[in-house]
Amino acid sequence: AKTIHLIGERHSGSNRMFQHLTNCFGNQTMVSDRLSRYKHWFQDEERLRTSTSATSSDMYVVALFRNPYAWVEAMHKRGPHHYPSHRRIGSWMSFVTKPLMVARTAVDNAMTEEDRFASSATPAKCIEGFTWNEVNPCHADNYLNKKDDLDFPMYELNHRQKDGTPYFRITDLRADKIKNFMVVKDYQRVKYFRPFQYEAMVAGGEATNQLIRELEEATGLKAACAPLHESPIEQKETKFDKEFVEWMKQNVDWEAEGLVGYRKDDVPVASTETVEI
């Protein structure tokens, strides 16, 4: 079997790209907005091996990224899903320097050590196969009937350290997420991996058409969709605060950004869309 998967951070256009991939290939194979976890979260090859919900298919993966200046601004102004303590923050400086954390819930604090961490015998009882040191809140019961509530907290903790430390800046989370997504190309079951930029998707045209042709060639399937045209979203002109641009230049991991084609001088002239795509 062959399956197509889309991963991408919040406010990176993943809804629009997922719909396009579904229109192209969904009548022939499964197109999913999950890999080892839901599209927004850190991915984990071991979870693919052990998850009872994972299929044994060959995987063809598109990873969507957005210009860091525009992404941070969208996360601030539109409000990041599942980060309730980061919604409705007035200044950009307050937003980018606010640690990504909330207090542990009573349900979490009552968990036993065995439930908090995975072992060879049992998985941790945390949402999405994370352990206590990787997510807050942790216990899946925190999320009962709330998984679609965008204001309900789900804070990924420092993915490199895995010691329960939060991210202290959203740009640090982004750097680790880029590196984590780029490792997906080395997963044993991944036969095709393509990082793709939000800006190319919004522009429509040849770049997106090329992506679909590559998927056709890689999977042997024939796309059954019309080309993706320029996004009909309404744009509002916005100029980035000069101090914001300078802060980003100093605090973004530009080596990580280079992995997905962004450079320090790639400051957009217009940014935030008025509707979610």
Query: Does one domain contain both 70 and 113?
Result: no
Which 8-state DSSP code applies to residue 121?
A: S
CA distance linking residue 15 with residue 126, whole number of Å: 26
pLDDT (tens digit per residue) in 162-214: 999 999 999 999 999 999 999 999 999 999 999 999 999 988 889 999 999 99
Residues 182 and 75 in one domain: yes
Based on the fold, state whether residues 247 and 191 are members of the same structural domain: yes
* 161: exposed, middle or buried (Cβ count in 10 Å: 0-12, 13-18, 19+): exposed
User: What is the per-residue pLDDT for 277?
Assistant: 59
Whether 179 and 68 map to the same domain: the answer is yes
- Core vs surface per residue 27-58: b (16+ CB within 10 A) or e: eeeebbbbbbbebbbbbbeebbeebeeeeebe
Report the number of distinct structural domains present in the chain.
Answer: 2
Region 218-246 average pLDDT: 82
Are 154 and 177 in the same domain? Answer: no
Q: What is the per-residue pLDDT across 107-152, written as a single tens digit (0 to 9) for each? A: 999 999 988 988 777 778 898 989 999 999 998 888 776 656 767 8
d(CA 198, CA 13): 6
200 and 71 housed in the same domain: yes
**85 falls within a domain:** no
Domain region containing 181: 1-79+173-276
- What are residue 227's phi and psi, to 5 degrees? -60, 150
SS3 state at 93: helix
CA distance 167 to 138: 16
- Best CA proximity match to 132, nearest among 107, 96, 150: 107
Concatenated DSSP letters of 146-176:
TTT-TTS--EE--TTT-SSPPBSSHHHHHHH
Find tokens 């999977």 and name the residue. 219
The pLDDT value given to residue 276: 56
Please tell me whether residues 123 and 140 are part of one structural domain: yes
Regarding whether 113 and 65 lie in a shared domain, the answer is no
Q: Do 129 and 250 belong to one domain?
A: no
Residue 197 and residue 113 share a domain = no
Percentage of the chain exceeding pLDDT 70:
90
Instruction: Please enumerate in sequence order all residues whose Cβ is within 8 A of that of 103, keeping only pairs 6 or more positions apart, or say none.
Output: none
Q: What is the pLDDT at residue 148?
A: 61
Do 49 and 121 belong to one domain? no
- Residue 144 has what pLDDT? 75
Say whether both 161 and 178 belong to one domain: no
Token code pair at residue 235: 């744009």
Mean pLDDT of 31-36: 96
Eight-state DSSP code of residue 228: -
Last residue of one domain, picked from the residues 134, 166, 198: 166
Instruction: Return the bridge partners of 76, or none.
Output: none
Q: Supply the pLDDT for residue 51.
A: 63
